[in-house]
Homo-oligomer: A and B are copies of this chain.
Amino acid sequence: MDYEKPLFFQVMQYAERAERDVIDMVSGNPDWEPPETLRDGLREYADRPVSEFQYPPSDGLRDLREEIASRRNVPVERVIVTNGGGEANYLAMAEALDRDAGNEVLLTDPVYPYYPGKTQMLGGEPVYVPVEADGRLDPTVVREHASDGTAAIVVNSPNNPTGAVYGEDTIEELVAIAEENDAILVSDEVYDHFDQSGRFTSALSVDSEHRAITASFSKSMAITGFRVGYTVLPPALAEPARTRHMLVNVTGSRPAQYAVLKALRETGPDYYEGTREMLATRIDAFTDALDSAGAQYTRPDGAFYVLARFEGFPGTMVNVERLIDEAGVAGMPGEAFGESRSEWFRFALVTPRAEEAADRLAGFFA
């Protein structure tokens, strides 16, 4: 089975064993601070009575679900809090496949590697839709790949690894394609706070029984280890998803939900804007230096990854190791994200040393 973590760990391990200083651009782990009140949330929770250390409702703390519902403008009944975006995607994909409305799951190529892994585990068949060189997804191409056999169309915007952001027209067309084929559009919006283009459109903006969204506080609050995410599903899928969630996990972890609730209530737009601006600076610095290195790349419109390609130096695991040893920069091999980007490297801008990393690359390729 093909998924990100083992390859990710392999690269991390190799980088750790290197005898030189290596700048880590491998993981998707934010290196910036969470919202200020998140830590207070944990401290507050530590003093709560033991009754609050017991099972929260299976679909999440009611107050947290209400905060999410009011922000996303959906009825609270539609919100299921999950063990991070990972479980949210699992639930949405499982219920899309469980409808007996086809067995195929449309994915993009390049792809976030967990999607094919989940598809296979759930007995579905991945069908890959190529995206444009710059990461844009052409709905016409999606439509060509869709059929009666399509159970789900899984997209991620802002996108990991391409940095593409799908605008309103694309999202509307994707929902229409899902409707035409009795499929469920699963719109993974975990990077929704990291849109640099102003064009990000949530699938929630299109009313339909054929679209689900998945989301998480992992990236927006810099807490990938807390495991608090959620899904908003079509009404027909919400109840079976609740049952599945209960039978797999019973419920999510309450200390994390409590801290996220406090941070969600008490964090203003400044925090998210600050992170976006900081990342914009990193993107500028890193892509400027990529220019000096003669790399091919597309400037990301969102999320915090850059795909880059160097003439005569394909993004294989062997070359990932060479970059670690000889340039002191660790990235991910493109092959982790599907066939179309096997020549490329993915660099995650989760280090204050992004500019230094790009300078090192420029030096290496000079």
Contact = CB atoms under 8 A, between A and B. Distances in A.
A117 to B, nearest CB: 5
A249 B86 contact: yes
A222 interface: yes
Interface string A153-195: 0000000000000000000000000000000000000000000
- Which of A114, A222, A225, A228 gathers most chain B CB within 10 Å? A225
Given A53-B225, A227-B252, A259-B255, A247 B114 contact: yes
A34 interface: yes
A206 interface: no
A31 B55 contact: no
A42 B39 contact: no
B224 A5 contact: no
A45 interface: yes
Nearest to A226: B253
Given A32-B50, A58-B5, A251 B226 contact: no
Interface residues of A, number: 55
A243 interface: yes
A241 to B, nearest CB: 12
Nearest to A222: B50
B5 A246 contact: yes
Interface string A2-39: 01010000000000000000000001011111100001
B86 A250 contact: yes
Q: How many copies does the complex hold?
A: 2
Contact of A253 (B118, B248, B255): B255
Interface string A239-281: 0000110111111111110010000000000000000000000
A250 B86 CA distance: 6
A226 B56 CA distance: 9
A72 interface: no
Contacts of A83: 83, 227, 249-250, 252-253
- Which of A40, A87, A255 gathers most chain B CB within 10 Å? A255
A121 B226 contact: no
A29 B54 CA distance: 6
A43 interface: yes
B43 A31 contact: no
Interface of A: 1, 3, 5, 27, 29-34, 39-40, 42-43, 45-47, 50-56, 58, 83-84, 86-87, 90, 114, 117-118, 121, 222-228, 243-244, 246-256, 259
